[in-house]
């Protein structure tokens, strides 16, 4: 081969090396379906994306906003999404019904769901719910949690008018249709009401006899856990970095979330974020005892009709 040919090969080789060096880590795409529209609960996810923590792990994360809170579980169970944000009670119910989903890590480590009421309602303690109308959101979930709450706190459910109001929790409370609601979040509906000029209080379920369950967890299907174990572990490492960042630099974390979601209601999300800060998981790692306790509670109170083994509810990728 002549000198010109050798020089051409050398230059082509040099260009290839230069391009490969600029490319960095290879990208592996993961699809994450949120449990609902972007909100303060998701700040650590957006921090990990905006700060490049996923990219540092070689992950190209696609975030999908669902049209319904049940979409994440359906898409994950069917294998159409890699990861979903879901709720600990829903994971227990899904597994008892044979759906192949497991929790792989924790996002919000304590219940956000509360029994919420207006401060001028005269409600001060659980017994004050007797003779009142109480609205609930999700059937066969919130009505069951309410009955468990009542038994634990000496409230006669025969003296409570339980009304299904769907997700119209705040309007139902403000309009006087109901005196209290279960299914409202301590970080959202409470602040939403207070931004309307009213004062609200709540009974935190875990302080009144119910299990201190994980509110939000990351889920994956059995198939994806087997197929993408390394990537899922990398995803959780990025989230752990983000959880630390949120605790150490909360205002910067919130700004990153707002930057990624410019159309959210900032006054509400700002208040919600600060109420969520102490409830985010310290780390994504899960406590087997928490799963065991809630699985037993779910069976006792009829949330599920078939027992599930705690080891089938979660995994460590």
My answer on whether 153 and 181 are in the same domain is yes
The secondary structure of residue 26, as a DSSP letter, is P
* C-alpha triplet 188, 190, 191: angle, nearest 5°: 65
CATH code for the domain of 305 = 3.40.190.10
Cα separation, 66 vs 192, in Å, equals: 22
Cα separation, 183 vs 114, in Å, equals: 6
Residue 302 Cα to chain centre, angstroms: 23
pLDDT of residue 9: 34
Closest CA to 316 of 243, 245, 214, 218: 218
pTM of the complete model = 0.90
My answer on whether 256 and 117 are in the same domain is no
My answer on whether 236 and 296 are in the same domain is yes
Cα separation, 135 vs 161, in Å, equals: 8
My answer on whether 174 and 258 are in the same domain is no
Cα separation, 111 vs 267, in Å, equals: 23
Residue 132 lies in a domain: yes
Residue 246 lies in a domain: yes
Of 192, 207, 222, the one marking the end of a domain is: 207
Helix extents (H) in 130-188: 142-152, 169-174
Give residue 265's domain range.
Answer: 28-110+213-312
Evaluate whether 87 touches 35 at the Cβ level (below 8 Å): yes
Of 146, 174, 207, the one marking the end of a domain is: 207
My answer on whether 101 and 225 are in the same domain is yes
| Count of domains for the chain | 2
pLDDT of residue 317: 73
Sign of CA dihedral 282, 287, 291, 293: negative
Strand-pair partners of 33: 64, 84
pLDDT of residue 25: 44
Residue 254 lies in a domain: yes
Residue 261 Cα to chain centre, angstroms: 17
pLDDT of residue 27: 67
Cα separation, 114 vs 135, in Å, equals: 12
Evaluate whether 30 touches 83 at the Cβ level (below 8 Å): yes
Closest CA to 210 of 91, 314, 126, 308: 126
Residue 221 lies in a domain: yes
Walk along the chain (317 residues) in steps of 10 and give the mean pLDDT of each run.
Answer: 38 35 60 96 98 97 91 94 97 96 98 97 98 96 97 98 95 97 96 96 97 98 96 98 98 98 97 98 97 97 95 90
φ, ψ for residue 266 (rounded to 5)? -70, -35
pLDDT of residue 67: 87
Residue 197's region, left for phi above 0, alpha for psi from -120 to 50, else beta, is left
DSSP letter string, 229-252: HHHHHHHHHHHHHHHHHHHH-HHH
My answer on whether 72 and 144 are in the same domain is no
φ, ψ for residue 233 (rounded to 5)? -65, -40
Evaluate whether 133 touches 178 at the Cβ level (below 8 Å): yes
């Amino acid at each position: 081969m002549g000198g010109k040919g050798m020089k051409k090969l050398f230059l082509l080789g040099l260009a290839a090396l230069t391009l490969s060096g600029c490319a960095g880590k290879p990208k592996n795409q993961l699809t994450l379906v949120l449990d609902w529209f972007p909100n303060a609960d998701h700040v650590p996810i957006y921090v990990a994306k905006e700060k490049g923590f996923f990219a540092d792990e070689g992950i190209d994360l696609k975030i999908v906003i669902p049209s319904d809170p049940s979409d994440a579980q359906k898409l994950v169970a069917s294998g159409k999404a890699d990861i979903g944000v879901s709720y600990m009670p829903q994971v227990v119910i899904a597994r008892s019904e044979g759906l192949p989903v497991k929790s792989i890590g924790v996002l919000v480590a304590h219940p956000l769901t509360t029994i919420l009421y207006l401060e001028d309602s005269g409600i001060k303690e659980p017994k004050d719910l007797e003779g009142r109308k109480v609205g609930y959101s999700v059937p066969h979930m919130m009505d069951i949690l309410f009955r468990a709450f009542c038994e634990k706190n000496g409230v006669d459910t025969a003296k409570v008018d339980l009304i299904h109001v769907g997700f119209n929790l705040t309007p139902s409370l403000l309009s006087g249709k109901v005196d209290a609601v279960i299914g409202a979040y301590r970080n959202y509906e409470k602040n939403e009401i207070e931004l309307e000029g009213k004062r609200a209080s709540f009974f935190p379920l875990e302080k009144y006899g119910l299990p201190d369950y994980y509110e939000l967890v990351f889920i994956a299907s059995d198939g994806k856990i087997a197929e993408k174990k390394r990537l899922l572990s990398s995803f959780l490492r990025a989230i752990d970095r983000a959880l630390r960042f949120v605790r150490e630099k909360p205002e910067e974390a919130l700004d990153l979330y707002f930057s990624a979601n410019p159309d959210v209601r900032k006054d509400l999300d700002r208040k919600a974020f600060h109420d969520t800060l102490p409830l985010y998981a310290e780390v994504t790692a899960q406590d087997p005892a928490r799963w065991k306790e809630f699985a037993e509670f779910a069976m006792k109170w009829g949330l599920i009709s078939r027992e599930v083994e705690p080891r089938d509810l979660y995994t460590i990728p």
